[in-house]
Amino acid sequence: MWQQEAHSQGSGQDCGMVLVQKLSKKAAAAVTVKDLSVCFSDKLMNLTRHFDEVILVFDTYRADSLKNRARQKRRNGKDPVQYQVRDETSIRHITLNRFRSHDQTKANWTEYLAEKTLDYNKDSGKLIITSAAGHTRSNRDVGRFPDNNHKEADTLMICLGVSATERNSMDAQMTFFSPDTDVLVLIIANYDRLPKNTSISMASSVQQVELLWTALGPDRVKALPGLHAFSGGDNTGRFARIGKSTWLKLFMEAEEDVIKALCTLRDDADVSEDLQLTLVQFVCTAYRPKGIKLSSIPELHWHLFCKYMAESEKLPPTLGALKQHILRARVQARVWGQAAVPQQELLDPLENGYHRDSDDGQLKPTTTHH
């Protein structure tokens, strides 16, 4: 793990639920919720022991969010159990995964941890900032923090990172602690608003962001969230056979019109016919065999099926399905494009590639154009 020199100043950001996941095995002494909060604070302070400022952020858990749909898929049909989050609640015979399986428990747990972390550090010389359920607080008076409507800790880390940079200096040292590729993408895209010496500590390595930002260049940096949303994820859907590494290679080779189209996904602009056409051609580039010049989805489908007898699950999406995918990518790119602002102006998923399931009421991807 990367360590900052003890004599230097810096800010460390950690995503709270990632840290909770690192506590996958409870200490024997942790028999109540209060005990677990102490273990959490101990681990957090040890992780950030060389930093003068610590910012701890949590996801916001809402039943109608797109991220909630992804969480439900990971449960594999298992019904969660809701637990009371109080100091005296016994967790002696409960695994952490079981304890945190219900979204309301998670929501209450994040607010509880945020409060307990500040209480744990009430006499600390460090500045400790926590943000949960839209409210940001600190253990010292450094002014009022605006409320936020971020649903994802990923974007909230950027928002508070930009705020910390404005409060301190571009010469400060900042490290993000997260194993999530989404966070890495957002840090790179917003690097011009963060300290020059910004890094991210991921699962097994530390990345200096300046090197990545320079390798991409300013134009592609701004298009990176659009590429990340378009190339597939939990909320938007993925392309058969085409992984992130392939999309990144094509992105680095892409012409200006593709870069501009991916930038547009994160902006206010509607999805125009020209934007759709550009992204259709980008998809064709990913799927067509070398030496074959095909720039329409129907032609590509027919060529791959006839010449290679490609199985349906290995073919690119139909034109109708791709249009819905572009709309979903726009929803996610719009969220990521507003990572640095407290109050995000979000798009309505029901007007952008999603529908509400008649059975369970959850948001589901619309797979083709009607």
Task: Give the three-class secondary structure for 135.
Answer: strand
Q: How far apart are CA 104 and CA 241, in angstroms?
A: 37
The answer to the question of residue 21 being in a domain is yes
Residue type present at position 155: T
Distance CA 311, CA 304 (A): 9
Q: Report the alpha-carbon distance of residue 223 to residue 130 in Å, rounded.
A: 30
Does 23 share its domain with 67? yes
CA dihedral 328, 66, 148, 53 (to 10 degrees): -100
Give the residue from 171, 196, 216 where a domain finishes.
Answer: 216
Find the distance separating the first CA and the last CA of the chain, reported in whole Å: 51
pLDDT in tens, 127-143: 999 999 999 999 999 99
Q: What is the pLDDT along the chain (370 residues), one digit of tens a residue?
A: 222 233 345 788 888 767 776 666 666 678 999 999 999 999 999 989 999 999 999 999 876 666 655 555 555 556 789 999 999 999 988 888 899 899 999 999 999 999 999 999 999 999 999 999 999 999 999 999 999 999 999 999 999 999 999 988 888 899 999 999 999 999 999 999 999 999 999 977 899 999 999 999 999 999 999 999 999 888 888 898 899 999 999 999 999 999 999 999 998 778 999 999 999 999 999 999 888 888 889 998 888 888 777 677 778 899 999 999 999 999 999 999 999 999 999 999 999 999 999 888 889 999 886 5
Residue 2 in any domain: the answer is no
Q: What is the dihedral sign for C-alpha 302, 305, 308, 310?
A: positive
Q: What is the pLDDT of residue 349?
A: 94
Residue 24, CA distances (Å) to 27, 69, 145 in order:
10, 23, 32
How far is it, in rounded angstroms, from Cα 329 to Cα 108? 30
Token pair listed for 66: 């797109």
pLDDT given for residue 218 in this prediction:
94
Distance in angstroms (rounded) separating the CA atoms of residues 33 and 86 = 6
**Domain range for 285:** 219-365
Do residue 353 and residue 332 come from a single domain?
Answer: yes
Cα-Cα-Cα-Cα dihedral sign, residues 239, 346, 72, 93: positive
In a domain, residue 229? The reply is yes
Residue corresponding to tokens 């909770």: 20
- Asked if 59 and 69 touch (Cβ cutoff 8 Å), the reply is no
DSSP 140-191: S---PPPP-----HHHHHHHHHHHHHHHS-TTSEEEEE---HHHHHHHHHTG
Flag whether 102 is in a domain.
yes
Place of tokens 């590429």: 227
pLDDT digits 0-9 by tens, 200-249: 999 778 999 999 999 999 999 999 999 999 998 888 888 988 999 999 99
Same domain, 185 and 58: yes
Whole-number pLDDT of residue 3: 28
Going by C-alpha positions, the residue among 201, 170, 203, 209 that lies closest to residue 3 is 201
Q: 123 and 97 in one domain?
A: yes
Asked whether residue 4 is assigned to any structural domain, the reply reads no
Q: Which of 72, 194, 150, 59 lies closest to 113, judged by CA?
A: 59
Look up residue 83 and give its two tokens.
């637990």
Q: Are residues 200 and 254 in the same domain?
A: no
pLDDT at 37: 95
Q: What is the pLDDT of residue 1?
A: 27
Residue with token string 């952020």: 57
Number of domains in the chain: 2
Q: Give the pLDDT confidence score for residue 12 in this predicted structure.
A: 81
Q: Which of 216, 248, 276 is the last residue of a domain?
A: 216
Instruction: Kindly report the number of other CB atoms within 10 A of residue 76's CB atom.
Output: 6
Rounded distance between C-alpha atoms, residue 264 and residue 258, angstroms: 10
Q: Give the CA dihedral 174, 144, 148, 50, nearest 10 degrees.
A: 20
Domain closes at, from 216, 243, 266: 216
Alpha-carbon span 102 to 121, nearest angstrom: 28
> 238 - beta bridge partners?
232
User: Minimal CA–CA distance to 178: which of 66, 21, 333?
Assistant: 21
CATH number assigned to the domain comprising residue 69: 3.40.50
Same domain membership, residue 263 and residue 131: no
Identity at 128, one-letter amino acid code: I
Q: Are 338 and 188 in contact (CB under 8 A)?
A: no
Extract the tokens encoding 241.
């056979």
